[in-house]
């Protein structure tokens, strides 16, 4: 699977610092400042993305279409060529962006005619096939002479991947040249190795179109780097170097120095003498291995950008030193698991980037410099190699079973960071003294739902340990078809030791790919294999029943991609198959109600061209089921009878795995290309699956909660890092609206006695909406503005008013689980905060009254000025009263307790003796200031106005401001 899933890179650079990076998973990352910052672009494409840029014009090739943007990637238009499916390279005419060439690889897993070189002269609106060999041979690379754009060279590649292996054998691979813009092509063979040539990588010098380099796979004697100085007429072998051709075949010529050659590979290679000799060791020290894409600046030869299995890296000194761009979330996660910590952690395996564990949210405040959220450095590496399955002991989050390629798995102990290697070795038998287990590249692991000491692992046998991996037993016979894959032809030809790239990317065939254990019955086990077998045991593995023939509508040997025994019904089990390795991308999703004896297809609503990777049933609600496929995330609220796509801000990306957190009810999603995503608290989806929510005008969902997390200090300077999103602080109040409203909805948090504690507004658009309550009472300001005190932990009723409809539900406010204090202490702390809040309310009322009084004084001045003579004395009195009101405002400001409430909220403890004294003193000073103010309002202002206005025009006297409530501590 390596070529499809990993060789998924391209880099192109346009004007004014524009850099586009095409990634696996249908994603383009864009930088407009030369790589200092990055943003993901919504292309609507899928799969591997190749990119090409001319100024602000960009072309990209996804899994099902060619795309074009004329605004540097802001928007994209689909341009067809859907059945080419995979593209090796896009080339754009340097002077006319409407002239575009596409090197189409075609289907990777089967024959098709939509492959070869395509050309468009109208910006991609129409296409014509320029070079075609046959249904097995596509174009893997393409270069253009910028000085003579009618001259192009194409690398044609005959190859086929199958479920069991790979072959690059075939006589049709080769280098072809056109001198007339693709009207005619001629194969260039002089000096190139004879026989099958395999994959070829090309480059042409930017300034000298006579100079070309080609990496040719060929047989071991002919394999290497070739150079032509006569426009491909003849070739000279420069070096034997050509690392893993199927996976890389990347060569680039420095645009400013034709003697400097760059090669991709596991290691990055640089030559300064045309490819004869190479820098010793790794030419990109400190940068991740496996380099698949490379761009060298035509204007500054020291500026080099590489794309590798670890992301994007830039050198500004010609490869001497490198900067890795940590602010691009490009993780390709295979499997994930979640633990019971609070906040919980997520563990997952990354393609070629080991296995890691990190927090679902952080409890630090990075200050005003940036947002708060999980960062790369919050994650801990727990296992090496390509990361795959990670399964956490449900009773001890410090024990994690982690696996890298081909069954190399072990047990990680977080407390000491020690690791125990656990992969079992097959014991010889009388019939087979050299017996070995076969392990899937992505070997499934499972910790029993019923006994955390019982661990399962899938080889060709189901392996079981009853002591956390210390010892192992075969819990099944060989469950695979036991086929010698070298007896299976590829492209009609047998595969042997001389086959180019023989089975590269498929280490073993005939292995268990999925394990299922019933959460309701430890004796019920299921296993599926990569060669299409499906088995059941109802006696804990003592005997097994082959159910392969009971599953309808499948191709022979289709890979089992998901097994999900029900949490609710003993005989119910969900099953998914992935046929893309047979060139079949249709969804195969089935459910059985009788332990797999009979099956029903459940694919309505799923796209017919996106294979399925994972399925998960909600552990509390039987109707709610989630599914991940090659384009995104789907859900069903009726046990799979109908599927709907979950969109929102979730991208178009392959979803490889999902987990539902048993406590927080979050849906955690592993994507191939966009790292990990979390859908916070799927309780609303549960309630939709259980009842008639969607038919009602407005529903406030039950079961919501918020936590009063204690947020501590964090690092201040975190520029250049990726920072994820924390959930909103407080409680997310989610509700359903059947139709759009003319105004926002109102949500009222109620006190136990029924009074309104907090009033919020929320969006009035139809659908599931959210309003966030910060777990505080209304603030002291007008209309509840400002910060009120945090409420005590407990259960609060919330009332939703949406037009004429109302709905009420409870929300639970819980204390930070790390805080352990008594309710008496919390009550004492809350009393202090309540008193301070009362003072703030009184001060706010007083300040409002002062503003009103000052306005009345200004109106009185205007009346005196209109009256003319005799008003000078009264004007002086008005000025004096205005000054005394200003002094009263200053007295209130001085009397307030300032930041005292924040200091008391900063710790879950009673207020200190000094804070108690400050509260008492503030209470007295505020009360004194308000008493003084009330004299000005009720006596002095009234007296002034009575001498200015006639009795009938006299404004209504202002009332006194209430004193802050006194509550002895």
Q: Which domains, and CATH codes, for the chain?
A: 704-815 (2.60.40.10), 823-953 (1.20.140)
C-alpha–C-alpha distance, residues 760 and 770, integer Å = 11
Question: Rounded CA gap, 880 and 941, in Å?
Answer: 11
Mean pLDDT of 614-622: 98
Distances in Å between the Cα of 645 and the Cα atoms of 190, 324, 531, 631, 635 are 54, 35, 30, 10, 6
Q: Which residues pair with 474 in a beta bridge?
A: 463
> From CA 832, how far away is CA 789, in angstroms rounded?
10
**How many residues does this entry show for the chain?**
969
DSSP assignment string, 117-161 = EEEESSTTSS-EEEE--BTTEEEEEEEE-TTSTT-EEEEEEE-EE
**pLDDT band at residue 4 under the 50/70/90 scheme:** very low
Q: Which two tokens stand for residue 173?
A: 């691979």
| Residue 289 confidence class, pLDDT cut points 50, 70, 90 | very high
User: Chain centroid to CA 502: how far?
Assistant: 34
The mean pLDDT value for 894-914 works out to 89
Instruction: Give the CA angle between residues 605, 611, 613 to the nearest 5°.
Output: 100
Give, for 3, the enclosing helix (H) or strand (E).
helix 2-6
Say if CB 502 and CB 490 are below 8 A apart: no
Confidence of residue 63 (pLDDT cuts 50, 70, 90): low
Query: What integer best gives the mean pLDDT of the chain?
Result: 92
On whether the pTM is more than 0.75, the answer is yes
113 within 8 A of 90, measured Cβ to Cβ: no
pLDDT at 899: 82
Burial of 431 (C-beta count, 10 Å sphere; 0-12/13-18/19+): exposed
Distance, CA of 201 to CA of 221 (rounded, Å): 18
**pLDDT band at residue 49 using 50, 70 and 90 as cut-offs:** low
Nearest to 596 by CA among 540, 481, 518: 518
For range 658-677, the mean pLDDT: 97
Judge contact between 575 and 614, C-beta under 8 A. no
Euclidean distance between the first and the last CA atom of the chain, given in angstroms as a whole number: 70
pLDDT in tens, 826-882: 999 999 999 999 999 999 999 999 999 999 999 988 888 887 755 688 889 999 999
3-state secondary structure at position 475: coil
Supply the pLDDT for residue 277: 98
What secondary structure, in 3-state letters, does 741-809 show? CCCCEEEEEECCCCCEEEEEEECCCCEEEEEEECCECCCCCHHHCCCCCECCCEEEEEEEEECCEEEEE
Q: Distance between CA atoms of 132 and 134, rounded to whole angstroms?
A: 6
Q: Residue 346 in contact with residue 676, Cβ under 8 Å? A: yes
Q: By C-alpha distance, which of 234, 232, 145, 160 is closest to 199?
A: 160
Instruction: Provide CB contacts within 8 A for 176, sequence distance 6+.
Output: 131, 153, 154, 156, 185, 186, 187, 188
Using pLDDT thresholds of 50, 70 and 90, give the confidence band for residue 969: very low
Structure tokens at 328: 């691009």
Give the Cβ contact number of residue 352 at 10 Å: 18
| Alpha helices, DSSP H, located in 180-279 | none
The label of the residue with tokens 């610092």 reads 17
pLDDT of residue 26: 61
pLDDT-derived band at 14 (thresholds 50, 70, 90) equals: low
The distance of Cα 936 from the centroid of its chain, to the nearest Å, equals 61
What's the Cα-to-Cα distance from 101 to each of 93, 266, 295, rounded to whole Å?
Answer: 8, 29, 19
Burial class (CB in 10 A: 0-12, 13-18, 19+), 171: exposed
């Amino acid at each position: 699977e390596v070529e499809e899933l990993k060789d998924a890179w391209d880099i192109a650079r346009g004007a004014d610092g524009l850099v586009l990076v095409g990634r696996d998973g249908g994603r383009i990352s864009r930088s407009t400042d030369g790589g200092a910052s990055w943003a993901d672009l919504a292309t609507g494409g899928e799969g591997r993305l190749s990119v090409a840029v001319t100024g602000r014009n960009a072309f990209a090739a996804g899994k099902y279409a060619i795309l074009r943007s004329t605004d540097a990637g802001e928007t994209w238009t689909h341009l067809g060529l859907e059945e080419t499916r995979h593209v090796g390279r896009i080339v754009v005419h340097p002077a006319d962006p409407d002239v575009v060439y596409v090197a189409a690889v075609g289907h990777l897993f089967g024959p098709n005619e939509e492959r070869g070189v395509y050309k468009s002269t109208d910006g991609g609106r129409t296409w014509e096939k320029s070079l075609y060999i046959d249904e097995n041979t596509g174009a893997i690379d393409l270069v253009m002479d910028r000085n003579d754009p009618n001259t192009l060279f194409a690398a044609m590649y005959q190859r086929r991947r199958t479920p069991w292996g790979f072959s690059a054998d075939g006589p049709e691979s080769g280098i072809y040249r056109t001198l007339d813009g693709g009207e005619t092509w001629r194969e260039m063979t002089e000096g190139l190795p004879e026989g099958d040539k395999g994959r070829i990588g090309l480059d042409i010098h930017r300034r000298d179109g006579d100079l070309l380099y080609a990496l040719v796979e060929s047989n071991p004697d002919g394999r290497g780097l070739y150079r032509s100085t006569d426009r491909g007429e003849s070739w000279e072998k420069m070096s034997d170097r050509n690392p893993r051709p199927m996976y890389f075949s990347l060569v680039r010529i420095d645009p400013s120095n034709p003697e400097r050659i760059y090669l991709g590979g596991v290691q990055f290679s640089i030559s300064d003498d045309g490819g004869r000799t190479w820098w010793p060791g790794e030419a990109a020290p400190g940068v991740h291995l496996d380099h698949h894409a490379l761009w060298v600046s035509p204007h500054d030869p020291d500026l080099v950008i590489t794309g590798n299995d670890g992301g994007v890296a830039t050198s500004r000194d010609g490869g001497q030193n490198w900067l890795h761009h940590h602010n691009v979330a490009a993780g390709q996660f295979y499997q994930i698991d979640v633990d019971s910590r609070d906040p919980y952690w997520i563990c997952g395996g990354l393609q070629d980037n080991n296995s890691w564990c990190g927090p679902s949210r952080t409890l630090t405040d990075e200050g005003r410099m940036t947002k708060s959220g999980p960062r790369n450095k919050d994650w801990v590496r727990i296992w090496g190699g390509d990361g795959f399955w990670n399964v956490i002991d449900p009773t001890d989050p410090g024990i994690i079973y982690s696996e890298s390629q081909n069954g190399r798995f072990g047990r990680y102990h977080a407390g000491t960071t020690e690791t125990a290697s656990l992969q079992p070795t097959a014991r010889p038998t009388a019939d087979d003294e050299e017996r070995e287990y076969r392990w899937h590249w992505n070997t499934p692991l499972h910790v029993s739902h019923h006994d955390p000491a019982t661990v399962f692992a899938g080889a060709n046998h189901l392996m079981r340990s009853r002591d956390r991996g210390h010892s192992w037993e075969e819990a099944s016979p060989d469950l695979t078809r036991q086929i010698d894959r070298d007896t299976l032809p590829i492209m009609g030809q047998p595969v042997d030791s001389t086959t180019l790239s023989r089975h590269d990317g498929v280490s073993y065939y005939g292995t268990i790919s999925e394990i299922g254990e019933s959460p309701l019955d430890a004796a019920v086990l299921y296993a599926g294999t990569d060669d299409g077998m499906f088995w059941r045991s109802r006696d804990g593995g003592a005997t097994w029943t082959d159910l392969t023939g009971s599953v309808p509508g499948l191709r022979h040997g289709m890979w089992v991609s998901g097994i999900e025994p029900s949490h609710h019904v003993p005989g119910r089990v969900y099953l998914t198959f992935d046929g893309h390795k047979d060139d079949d991308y249709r969804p195969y999703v089935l459910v059985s109600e009788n332990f797999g004896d009979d099956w029903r297809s459940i694919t309505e609503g799923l796209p017919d061209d996106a294979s399925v990777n994972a399925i998960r049933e909600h552990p509390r609600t039987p109707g709610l089921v989630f599914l991940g496929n090659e384009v995104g995330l789907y859900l069903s609220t009726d046990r799979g009878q109908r599927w709907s796509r979950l969109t929102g801000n979730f991208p178009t990306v392959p979803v490889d795995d999902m987990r539902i957190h048993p406590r927080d009810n979050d849906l955690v999603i592993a994507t191939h290309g966009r790292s990990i995503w979390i859908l916070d608290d799927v309780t609303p989806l549960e309630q939709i699956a259980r009842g008639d929510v969607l038919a009602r005008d407005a529903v406030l969902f039950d079961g919501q909660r918020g936590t009063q997390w204690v947020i501590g200090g964090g690092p201040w300077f975190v520029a250049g890092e990726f920072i994820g999103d924390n959930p909103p602080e407080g409680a997310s109040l989610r509700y359903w609206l059947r139709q759009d409203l003319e105004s926002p909805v109102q949500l009222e948090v109620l006190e136990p006695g029924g009074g309104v504690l907090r009033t919020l507004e929320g969006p009035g658009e139809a659908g599931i909406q959210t309003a966030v309550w910060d777990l505080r009472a209304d603030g002291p300001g007008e209309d509840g503005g400002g910060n009120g005190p945090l409420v005590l932990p407990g259960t609060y009723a919330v009332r939703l008013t949406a037009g004429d409809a109302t709905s009420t539900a409870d929300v639970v406010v819980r204390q930070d689980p790390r805080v352990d204090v008594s309710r008496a202490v919390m009550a004492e702390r809350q009393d202090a905060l309540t008193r301070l809040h009362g003072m703030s309310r009184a001060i706010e009322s007083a300040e409002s009254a002062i503003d009103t009084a000052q306005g009345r004084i200004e109106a009185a001045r205007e009346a005196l000025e209109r009256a003319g003579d005799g008003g000078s004395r009264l004007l002086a009195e008005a000025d004096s009263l205005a000054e005394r009101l200003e002094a009263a405002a200053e007295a209130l400001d001085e009397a307030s307790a300032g930041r005292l409430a924040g200091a008391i909220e900063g710790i879950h403890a009673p207020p200190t003796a000094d804070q108690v004294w400050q509260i008492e003193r503030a209470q007295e000073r505020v009360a004194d200031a308000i008493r003084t103010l009330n004299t000005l309002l009720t006596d002095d202002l009234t007296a002034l106005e009575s001498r200015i206005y006639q009795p009938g025009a006299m404004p209504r006297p202002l009332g006194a401001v209430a004193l802050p409530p006194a509550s002895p501590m």
